[in-house]
Amino acid sequence: RFFMNNEIWSGREAHEYGAIDVLVEPESLMETATGLATVWSSWGPHTKEATKHLLHVQTDNDFSTHLDHERTLIEAAGTTEAFKEGVAAFLEKRHPSFD
């Protein structure tokens, strides 16, 4: 309804409809956004690139084709140095270093 009817939703409505997954009070917005940005910036470079790519092309194909494409990217991620570092960090109980 948001797109097809050009409806404007409040934050509460967007949360209720499942369009957003977190609803915060205005005074907590920057802290919450900064926290999410910090987590996302800690991802390995391939993860960030693949996520941005998948968001960009999500409407180019049907759902099944999109999932196949996503699966291909996940398989490719398993061959990267960042993946090896992530696994090593997990096994060594430390934070990964993707520099």
24-83 pLDDT, tens digit each: 999 999 999 999 999 988 888 888 889 999 999 988 989 999 999 999 999 998 898 889
Q: Which of 37, 42, 68 is nearest to 54 (CA)?
A: 68
- What are the Cα distances from residue 35, in Å, to 23, 39, 57? 14, 6, 26
pLDDT attached to residue 46: 83
The pLDDT-based confidence of 1 (bands split at 50, 70, 90) is low
Taking the domains of the chain in order of start, what are their residue ranges? 11-41, 45-91
Q: Using CA atoms in the order 26, 39, 51, 8, what is the torsion angle rounded to 10 degrees?
A: -10
Residues 6+ apart with CB under 8 A from 61: 69
Confidence check: pLDDT of 3 > 90: no
Confidence check: pLDDT of 4 > 80: no
pLDDT in tens, 72-92: 999 998 898 889 999 999 999
pLDDT attached to residue 42: 84
